[in-house]
Amino acid sequence: MKQSQLFPKTKKEAPKDAESINHKLLVRAGFMDQLMAGSWTLLPMGFKVVQKINQIIREEINAVGGQEMLMPLLHPKTIWNETGRWDKANEIMYKLKDSREKEYALSFTHEEIVMDLLRKTISSYKDLPVSIYHFSTKFRNELRAKSGILRGREFMMKDLYSAHASEEDLMEYYEKVKSAYSKIFTRLGFNFKIAKASGGVFTDKFTHEFQVLSDVGEDTIYWKEGDTEATNEEVMEGNKEEYISAKSIEVGNIFPLGTFYSERMRAYFTDRDGGKKPIWFGSYGIGPTRVMGTWVEVSHDDKGIIWSKQISPFDIHLVDLNGNGKEIYGKLIETGFDVLWDDREVSAGEKFGDSDLIGIPVRLVLSERNGDKVEYKERSKDESELLSLDEAIERLKK
């Protein structure tokens, strides 16, 4: 991609009211734009990052048998009345009426919709288990949108739902998803903890949250040295002083919901013994847009963002000071790299400034000073070195 054509241009200054790092940097670098409080456009580079995050999630969820689909966002009131959540989740739901006074909700989650689907399609234990998911928008009437893209009123979520013939099977799958989530956040490169927490409007039972350690986090978690799991402050029992604690950002959450939803919505199946039983149910969420914001919070410096190879919008930033990098650009593209080529007629300083701001992990500088070599520099390091193009390509392939 030629940078001269990239939409939009970077900004020199952050929005004046922006406080959080993700808000300032993602807006300045041209990854997102605010429409109103808690509502964001993902601009081309922001969308690329989210797509990369989604792909990592997709691969790991598919690996535990998840089947991707897509559910609607406009839901009838009647279905939410079946579980009582039209009233119970009143504060978080956006509700609206059409011209005939029929009432709807904008989706804040999909348990009821999935359960409706299951009761229409599952009749025997032979039809179970089922694991289905989608990536879609969630609407939540947050009392206060804040922290850039970390808490929006409209955001992207991957939500997975699983249905089982027994509690044992549900819990076995729950553990599978827990380890799939661990793989996802490990691949994404986060320092995270799995924390025991409460279920909010989803369930009275325990749940597990995936928490990335960061000072801008809204949660506080506690653990003891050597513990694999932590505990969210909201369900913390015992003496806090005996634990290590840290602020954290919740990037994922898994819920073993049990049979509450299936009983309320009469989603039964016929078991091996001929008896009619409620479906065992679980749901599992990750917020990819929040993941993007969280990454920026934990990986930046005073000049800009520092993306990882896994989720960077481009593989290489080709900073062309001569204006004659067309051939090298072509060769890098041919080799299979996704390259942002700074072909603009602006000063070197501006190119370097934008390069640091955008934060692509590898920068290749073309300049007369370098002769026929390219200057290879990693965004996360200070030093650079001169390499032949072939050497640079070899290094990039690793």
Q: What angle do CA 296, 297, 303 make, to 5 degrees?
A: 65
Residue 384 CA, chain-centre distance (Å), reads: 32
Least Cβ distance, residue 165 to RNA (angstroms): 26
Residue 85 belongs to what H/E stretch?
helix 85-88
Residue 298 belongs to what H/E stretch?
helix 288-298
Q: Is 193 in the site for RNA (CB under 7 A)?
A: no
Q: Is 142 in the site for RNA (CB under 7 A)?
A: yes
Least Cβ distance, residue 232 to RNA (angstroms): 9
Give the CA dihedral 206, 124, 131, 121, nearest 10 degrees. Answer: -110
d(CA 71, CA 108): 12
Query: Of residues 107, 131, 147, 262, which one binds RNA by CB under 7 A?
Result: 147
For residue 20, how many other CB atoms are within 10 A of its CB?
18
Q: Which residues from 155-174 bind RNA, rule CB under 7 A?
A: 155, 157
Q: Is 87 in the site for RNA (CB under 7 A)?
A: no
Window contacting RNA (CB under 7 A); options: 9-17, 166-174, 239-247, 388-396: 9-17
d(CA 7, CA 193): 36
For residue 187, how many other CB atoms are within 10 A of its CB?
16
d(CA 364, CA 372): 12
Window contacting RNA (CB under 7 A); options: 110-118, 120-128, 244-252, 261-269: 244-252
Query: Of residues 74, 96, 201, 235, which one binds RNA by CB under 7 A?
Result: 201
Beta bridge partners of 375: 365, 386
- Look at the block and give the residue holding tokens 């919070």: 297
Q: What angle do CA 49, 55, 58 make, to 5 degrees?
A: 145
Kindly tell me which of 129 and 325 has the beta carbon lying closer to RNA: 325
Window contacting RNA (CB under 7 A); options: 53-61, 74-82, 134-142, 188-196: 134-142
User: Per residue in 123-133, is it b (16+ CB within 10 Å) or e — as a string?
Assistant: eebeebbbbbb
Binding mask 89-128 for RNA (x = CB under 7 A): --xx------------------------------------
Q: Which residues from 276-335 bind RNA, rule CB under 7 A?
A: 285-287, 289-290, 303, 321
Q: Is 145 in the site for RNA (CB under 7 A)?
A: yes
Q: Is 47 in the site for RNA (CB under 7 A)?
A: no
Q: How many residues bind RNA (CB under 7 A)?
A: 69
Q: Is 10 in the site for RNA (CB under 7 A)?
A: yes
Kindly tell me which of 13 and 101 has the beta carbon lying closer to RNA: 13
Kindly tell me which of 125 and 290 has the beta carbon lying closer to RNA: 290
Query: Of residues 357, 360, 392, 393, which one binds RNA by CB under 7 A?
Result: 357
Q: What angle do CA 320, 322, 323 make, to 5 degrees?
A: 70
- Look at the block and give the residue holding tokens 């949250």: 209
Instruction: Decide: 219 and 247 in contact? Cβ < 8 Å.
Output: yes
Q: Which residues bind RNA (CB under 7 A)?
A: 10-20, 23, 34, 36-38, 91-92, 138, 140, 142-148, 150-152, 155, 157, 198, 200-202, 209, 218, 234, 250-253, 285-287, 289-290, 303, 321, 345-350, 352-357, 365, 367-370, 375, 384
